[in-house]
């Protein structure tokens, strides 16, 4: 019963702000309070703890997820899930995210997720030098002992 509530809550949150997302076909902003129809919605809950859900709305939002119980340690269990969602940003850019959520946390993958810039070459050389020349246990004092 808790899983059903959890899945329903996820779907409600995912669709709650639908009225403020752009229309995919026209790339127009929906009016506040405008209803966006759900074209397709599926939910399957298994007594073993596995589940899957998906939906598609008329403004082009698609989402789906599958999950199941997973034994993490001898005395710990959790839910592992994988899924994806897609929509069009207000700027008209298609956004597609795939993710895995398990004992290692939420791990999204997509072209719109920011990535850090590459490490500058001089800093990379400095880090490599530090790695290959570890400091000795005794600090060296350049001006003798104090």
Q: Give the span between the Cα atoms of 44 and 40, in whole angstroms.
A: 14
User: What is the share, in percent, of the chain residues with pLDDT greater than 70?
Assistant: 72
Q: What would the two tokens of residue 144 be?
A: 């003798």
pLDDT for 3 beyond 80: no
pLDDT for 142 beyond 90: no
Q: Give the span between the Cα atoms of 50 and 121, in whole angstroms.
A: 48
pLDDT (0 to 100) of residue 71: 81
pLDDT (0 to 100) of residue 20: 41
Indicate the average pLDDT of the chain. Answer: 80
pLDDT for 137 beyond 80: no
Q: Give the span between the Cα atoms of 120 and 127, in whole angstroms.
A: 11
pLDDT for 2 beyond 50: no
> Which of 35-44, 87-96, 128-137 is predicted with the least confidence, judged by mean pLDDT?
128-137
Q: How far is CA 47 from the centre of its chain?
A: 26
For every residue of the chain, DSSP letters joined together read -HHHHHHHHHHHHHHHTGGGSBPTTT--BPPTT----EEEEEEEE-TTS-EEEEEEETTS-EEEEEEEEEEEETTEEEEEEEEEEEEE-TTS-EEEEEEEEETTEEEEE-TTS--PPPPPHHHHHHHHHHHHSPPPSSPP-TT---
pLDDT for 4 beyond 50: no
pLDDT (0 to 100) of residue 19: 44
Are the beta carbons of 72 and 78 closer than 8 angstroms?
Answer: yes
pLDDT for 146 beyond 80: no
Q: Give the span between the Cα atoms of 146 and 140, in whole angstroms.
A: 12
Which tens digit of pLDDT belongs to each residue from 84-111? 999 999 898 999 999 999 988 999 999 8
pTM above 0.95, yes or no: no
């Amino acid at each position: 019963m808790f899983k059903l509530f959890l899945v329903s809550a996820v779907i409600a949150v995912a669709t709650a702000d639908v009225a403020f997302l752009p229309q995919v076909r026209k790339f127009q902003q929906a009016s506040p309070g405008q209803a966006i129809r759900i074209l397709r919605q599926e939910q399957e809950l298994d007594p073993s703890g596995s589940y899957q859900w998906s939906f598609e709305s008329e403004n082009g939002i698609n989402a789906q997820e599958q999950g199941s119980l997973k034994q993490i340690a001898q005395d710990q269990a959790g839910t592992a899930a994988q899924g994806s969602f897609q929509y069009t940003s207000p700027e008209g850019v298609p956004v597609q995210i795939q993710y895995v959520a398990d004992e290692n946390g939420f791990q999204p993958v997509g072209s719109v997720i920011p990535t850090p810039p590459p490490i500058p070459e001089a800093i990379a050389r400095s880090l490599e030098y530090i790695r290959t020349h570890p400091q000795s246990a005794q600090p060296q004092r350049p001006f003798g002992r104090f």
